[in-house]
Structure 1
Amino acid sequence: MTIRQHNSMAAFLSGLMQVVIWVAIVCGIIAFLLISVGLIGSLNGGVMRVPGMEAYVEGVAPGQFIAGLAGLVVFAPGIIYVCMQLRRILSTLADGDPFVPENGPRLSKIAIAIGAIEVARYLTVILLNVFVDLGSEQPLRLSINLAAWAAVIALLVLAQVFREGSRLREEEKMTI
């Protein structure tokens, strides 16, 4: 029988992750609103007027705002999802038992989310280059982020390690 101790650093990080989630949500909403205002102003001849506000957008092509919105739509939900999964893992660590059966799949979900964000980024760059006039002669560059793919592989390996650790923990409980 093992005695579980509360991990204060993990508890702190879990709380910090909750703050990061809320900051990401608030910043994402603000960025979405600002970019949307810029897009509307750009489509409206450089000026957007609503009661109590005037926004001037001069010399910025609507395609640049569309690219900004596309990037926000690709990254923001993924970042928030990954942070939520990390917070759940940190909560189990704070409780003193990280090798619970749920943490293996959580790490797999994080890996899949990071991979999906990368694939969505590639598709977004391709679609923006094909369908959107960005207002410049130079197209968006498609680059492969090897660090992200290495993280995906590492997380999938860690997920398997956690699954095995959880399985061994269950076997240990049944041993007399």
Structure 2
Amino acid sequence: MRSIARDPLLAFARVVLFLAMGLCGLVGAVMLVTAPFMIFGRFSILDDVSADLEGATTGTFLAIGGVMLLVAVAAALAFLFLRHLLRIIDSVGEGDPFVPVNATRLAAMAWLTIAIEALTYPIGGLGILIARSFPNVHSDLEVGFSLSGVLLAVILFILARVFRKGAQMRADLEGMV
């Protein structure tokens, strides 16, 4: 790991990834802790805020709790994505990035990207349901296809193949020597 300390870009990337992983953990934990209050305490919450939130129903609070749980899942998936990336960066710092495990990590990151992208649909759908509970409030919430998420997944799948081929070529070369 000494070479990471000497490479400022890798050191900076590690710090940023640790901060992002911490943020994912914090968001996931907050959502997991507060979602049950929203789901199981919806009747008391509704009694407390019914005058302030015209149009809110128990279904609204169930939808909010559902969004919170789905966001917790998305945060966990993002944490796993970042952990794979951190391990790839560590292998670069060690001077050995073209190993089969990095190809597997990149493919896993691609699948995690697809899973996170897929979660945006139920989260957005519940968000629209929540917004419709409040007819007096204007909302521009839209749910749609994200080309950038799909493009990232495709790039990661291609990079996984490149790393797999690089590891295979290196193994073949070592076998010849």
- TM-score category, normalised to shorter length: 0.7 to 0.9
More helix by share: 2
Determine what percentage of the aligned residue pairs are the same residue.
21
Rounded to whole Å, the distance in 1 between the matches of 2:120 and 2:162 is 29
- Cα deviation, 1:56-106, whole Å, max 9, x if unaligned, reads 684154155235314413421111110111111111011111111100111
Higher alpha-carbon deviation: 79-88 or 9-18: 9-18
Secondary structure of the corresponding residue to residue 143 of structure 1:
coil
Rounded to whole Å, the distance in 2 between the matches of 1:172 and 1:62 is 61
- Cα deviation, 1:17-47, whole Å, max 9, x if unaligned, reads 2332123212321244345445555431446
Out of 135, 138, 159, the residue aligned to residue 133 of structure 2 is 135
Rounded to whole Å, the distance in 2 between the matches of 1:86 and 1:130 is 33
Secondary structure of the corresponding residue to residue 21 of structure 1:
helix
Rounded to whole Å, the distance in 1 between the matches of 2:68 and 2:20 is 21
Structure 2 equivalent of residue 28 of structure 1: 28
Q: For structure 1, which runs of at least 5 residues remain unmatched after alignment?
A: 49-55
Structure 1 equivalent of residue 81 of structure 2: 82
Secondary structure of the corresponding residue to residue 102 of structure 1:
helix
C-alpha root-mean-square deviation of aligned residues, in Å? 3.2
Structure 2 length-normalised TM: 0.74
Rounded to whole Å, the distance in 2 between the matches of 1:106 and 1:119 is 20
- The answer to whether the 8 Å contact 1:63/1:135 transfers is no
Structure 1 length-normalised TM: 0.74
How far the C-alpha of 1:13 sits from its partner, in A, is 2.2
- Cα deviation, 1:129-151, whole Å, max 9, x if unaligned, reads 89878514579632000100010
How far the C-alpha of 1:175 sits from its partner, in A, is 2.4
Structure 2 equivalent of residue 13 of structure 1: 13
Secondary structure of the corresponding residue to residue 100 of structure 2:
coil
4+ residue stretches of structure 1 with deviation over 6 A? 129-133
State the AA in 2 paired with 1:135.
S
Rounded to whole Å, the distance in 2 between the matches of 1:24 and 1:130 is 24
Structure 2 equivalent of residue 155 of structure 1: 156
- Quickly say closer, same or farther: Cα 1:45–1:123, change in 2 above 3 A: closer
